[in-house]
Structure 1
Amino acid sequence: MPNLQDQLTAQLLQTKSLPVSPIWLNNFLSTISAAQRNTPIPALTQTALFRLLNSDFRESLTSRSTTILPVEISDTNVQERRLTGTIPVQVLDIEDIGTSAWSQIEAIERVERGEAVRGREIVRTVNVGDDDQDERPAANANASNGPHRVILQDAKGTRIIGIEMKKITGLAIGKMAIGAKLLLRGVIVARGIILLTPESVTVLGGKVEAMDQAWRAGRKERLRQKITET
């Protein structure tokens, strides 16, 4: 009869392709109550998955040779190759390369000025007496149309750039946090860059809070630097 840790390890690998670190899983189990341990395995697996998606994969996953990026993955001399298997990665950076940096800065500054926000949509408030007193949609600083450029990192810490070749649902600024987790399946790597398509990417979600806060705090300055460098 497999113990609880073995059952969770098998469930997370079979259902989500996540090779969980025994140390991380043991620490997870030490934080849950006796009552939670007696919940059905599918429910306990979901709790563990939530924690995993909000962890740093370098600490929570094992670095199996079949589930990490090849060491030479960023070699620009390799014209094209397809990676086999399923590789879990986390997002370290996301950039909307389909929208100008100035437009993105302006959208951020509209939010900083305190313009009205309804859900994820920024709206301009209209003064009484204007002919048209309806609220009009303004630019949305919390979302992006793409295509997107991302920096991805595997469980061993290897990084690679990815470019969105076709629209991937959930991959957008405002929808995806830094530290969000993806599964790469059979992706093509061309000149050291992963070509991301809906067929090769599964968005699992999640985030790493400290990474996400630091990224948001520095985003406007990075956009300004991009402008000065061009």
Structure 2
Amino acid sequence: MSSTNPQNHITAHLLANNSLPVSPAWLSNFLSSQRSSIPLTALTQTALFRILASDFKESLSTSKPSVLLPVDISDPAVKERRIPGPVPVQVLDIDDIGTSLWSQIEAIERVERGEAVRGREIVRTVNVGDDDNSNVAEGNGSGNGASSSNNTGNTGHPDPGLGETSSGPHRLMLQDAAGTRVVAIELKPVEGVAIGKLPIGAKMVLRNTTVARGIVLLSPECATLLGGKIEAMDKAWREGRKARLLARVEQMERERAQRDEDDDDVIMEE
């Protein structure tokens, strides 16, 4: 290992290059688990990888307010404000608000049945052997043949239920190192932000971000994806996604029924 103080080097490097204010306690614990013979460059990259797979509340420092979201960021009474940043955040939830709930549920159920959508056909994919990733698509007519890795629906957009990218726009729940949460909406498509492409726990940095009525407005100019994933959170999110979508559909149906009942009461009173 170089004679350069590794803690100081890694702290400065990750702050300058990735806008990540690493927690001294986290970094000290990380370094104590590494061999002294590891080159400093490799050690720095390993630290970055571990941080992107960690919970920011544990791995980042909260000593400077400038790297955190305002605690009242979700206040809808504030018409508009700008957050200079850079503020590192992690993704706790992602929702495709450009696709109907039922379409997303149906896409998930196709995956459960081992089906995919290609053009105007629904095909069933069958794994061929355990040593390769090739699939055979069983369909009708000209649909027979190898299945594409880019499964899309009739609209041409990748199917969000197939582990591919969703069309969006997307709503995200973001969290900073202090645990402050805020809803974010794609004002413009941000590369890499999509269901099936952006895992839960993924990290991004916000710079010169506009917040309107308590909602962060995302665009490529203000959001930089760093990657990463919190494995346990991502697994739980994926396994519970269908149930959450069904619960939202049921809630909407209850609210619709209540509105209809209220309208009937008004008519009777009149």
Query: TM-score if structure 2 supplies the norm length?
Result: 0.78
Aligned mate of 1:173, from 195, 202, 216: 195
- Measured after TM superposition, the shift of residue 29 of structure 1 is 0.8
Aligned mate of 1:125, from 138, 161, 178: 138
Determine which structure has more spread, i.e. the larger CA radius of gyration: 2
- Measured after TM superposition, the shift of residue 153 of structure 1 is 0.3
Query: Are the equivalent residues in 1 in contact too, given 2:67–2:88 (CA < 8 A)?
Result: yes
Query: Are the equivalent residues in 2 in contact too, given 1:147–1:164 (CA < 8 A)?
Result: yes
Aligned mate of 1:154, from 173, 176, 188: 176
Distance in 1, matches of 2:66 and 2:126, equals 45
Q: Residue 56 of structure 2 aligns to which amino acid in structure 1?
A: F
Q: Residue 191 of structure 1 aligns to which amino acid in structure 2?
A: R
Q: State the match for 1:76 in structure 2.
A: 76
Q: State the match for 2:220 in structure 1.
A: 198
Q: What SS does structure 1 have at the residue aligned with 2:141?
A: coil
Aligned length: 223
Q: State the match for 1:184 in structure 2.
A: 206
Q: State the match for 1:50 in structure 2.
A: 49
Say yes or no: does 1:214 pair with 2:241: no
Query: Are the equivalent residues in 1 in contact too, given 2:98–2:170 (CA < 8 A)?
Result: yes
Mind listing any 5+ residue stretches in structure 2 that lack a counterpart? 116-124, 154-158, 253-270
Query: Are the equivalent residues in 1 in contact too, given 2:137–2:144 (CA < 8 A)?
Result: no
Query: Are the equivalent residues in 2 in contact too, given 1:89–1:152 (CA < 8 A)?
Result: yes
Distance in 2, matches of 1:123 and 1:55, equals 38
Distance in 2, matches of 1:23 and 1:93, equals 28
Q: State the match for 2:104 in structure 1.
A: 104
Q: State the match for 1:164 in structure 2.
A: 186
Name the Cα RMSD after superposition.
2.1
Percent identity, please: 56
Q: State the match for 1:61 in structure 2.
A: 60
Query: Are the equivalent residues in 1 in contact too, given 2:137–2:143 (CA < 8 A)?
Result: no
Query: Are the equivalent residues in 2 in contact too, given 1:168–1:198 (CA < 8 A)?
Result: yes
Query: Are the equivalent residues in 2 in contact too, given 1:53–1:207 (CA < 8 A)?
Result: yes
Q: State the match for 1:8 in structure 2.
A: 10
Q: Which structure 1 residue ranges, 4+ long, deviate > 6 Å from structure 2?
A: 117-120
- Measured after TM superposition, the shift of residue 61 of structure 1 is 0.2
Q: State the match for 1:23 in structure 2.
A: 25
Q: Residue 97 of structure 1 aligns to which amino acid in structure 2?
A: I
Q: Residue 45 of structure 1 aligns to which amino acid in structure 2?
A: T
Say yes or no: does 1:134 pair with 2:172: no
Q: What SS does structure 2 have at the residue aligned with 1:81?
A: strand
Call closer, same or farther: CA 1:182–1:117 in 2, change over 3 Å: farther
Q: Residue 156 of structure 1 aligns to which amino acid in structure 2?
A: A
Distance in 1, matches of 2:203 and 2:32, equals 24
* Residues 117-154 of structure 1: per-residue CA shift (max 9 Å, x gap): 7999x98522xxx5335247554321211000000000
Query: Are the equivalent residues in 1 in contact too, given 2:192–2:198 (CA < 8 A)?
Result: yes
- Measured after TM superposition, the shift of residue 46 of structure 1 is 1.3
- Measured after TM superposition, the shift of residue 15 of structure 1 is 0.7
- Measured after TM superposition, the shift of residue 30 of structure 1 is 1.5
Q: What SS does structure 2 have at the residue aligned with 1:146?
A: coil
* Residues 47-106 of structure 1: per-residue CA shift (max 9 Å, x gap): 111100000000000112110000111110000000112000000000000001111111
Q: Residue 14 of structure 2 aligns to which amino acid in structure 1?
A: L
